[in-house]
Each structure stands twice: as structure tokens, then as C-alpha cells.
Amino acid sequence: MTPFQERLGRYTVQWMTGLNNVVFRLSKGRVSGNAPSGAPICLVTTTGRKTGRARTVPLVYVPDGDSLVVVASKGGMSTHPAWYLNLLADPNVVIETAEGVRPATARTATADEKERFWPELVAVYEHFTAYQARTSRPIPLVILTPRSD
């Protein structure tokens, strides 16, 4: 990607993220709870590593028992998404699905877990393959495990 494409992509993602979050919450996940491909979407709220403020992003996921597996793709841009860097600094997150809101702990998937979950994620959202081809960085997968507080 060119620097211009990355800047344009970043602004587009920010605008769409805000819109999706509002629609998801107002409809309790009935609207914006699925990607155009039909893949389920969750909202993940992290704590900003620089600001300490809550930051929420919509992400495609696949379930693994009670856990959710998400992709830190950033559309194949050259850097990791801010939400991923935030959870590296503080793995305590909040996940929202159509079933409700719950606290969770986030961690980067191991190589074996990535090998297991990547095909499932591509099956529900085929664009992940193009995103990985677009960047030289390995795209991390994140496992969100609910916890009771």
C-alpha cells in the first residue's frame, strides 16, 4: 500500500468504526452484528495505552467455546491496529455481542492456534487472505476469553 492509501484507509476505518458502534449498540447487535459476508461481529473495548480512555472497535470473530477469536488485520496496512497495541499494554477488555456485554482477557494466539483458527476466519471473511498478502507483517490473531469480575 502507498502512504496515501494507508492514510485514506485509516480515516475510512475510523469513520466506519464510529458508525458501526452506534448502530450495533442501538440495535443490540441486530443491525451491524454481521459483516456483509455474514460473519458475526463483536465490539471490543480496550483501554488506550496513551490516553487511558476507552476505545471500541467492531471486529469479525469466530467462537471457540466461550472465547472469541479476532484478527488484528487493519485491512492489511503496514502497522498493527491501535486496539491491538492497546491490549498488549492492558489485556483487560470488554466484549459485546448480540448476547450481551462481558469482561474478557485478551492474548495473542500462539503459532499453533493461528494455524488452527486462520482457515476458520478466512472461511467467514475471505478478505483476510488479501489483507495478509498486502502486508509483510504477520497478522496476529487474538483470543478473547471471558472472565467474571
| Model confidence, pTM | 0.79
Res 44: pLDDT: 95
CATH 2.30.110.10 for domain 3-146: yes
- Predicted pLDDT at 9: 62
Residues 84 and 140 sit within 8 Å (Cβ to Cβ): yes
pLDDT < 70 regions, the chain: 1, 5-6, 8-38
Q: Where are the domains positioned within the chain? A: 3-146
CA distance 71 to 112: 15
Phi then psi dihedrals of residue 6, to 5 deg? -65, -40
What confidence score (pLDDT) does residue 98 get? Answer: 81
**Distance between CA 131 and CA 115 in Å, rounded?**
16
Let me know the angle formed at the C-alpha of 99 by 105 and 112, rounded to the nearest 5 degrees: 40
Contact residues for 79 (Cβ-Cβ < 8 A; gap 6+):
137
If DSSP codes are grouped into helix, strand and coil, which group holds residue 135? coil
How confident is the model at residue 30, as a pLDDT?
55
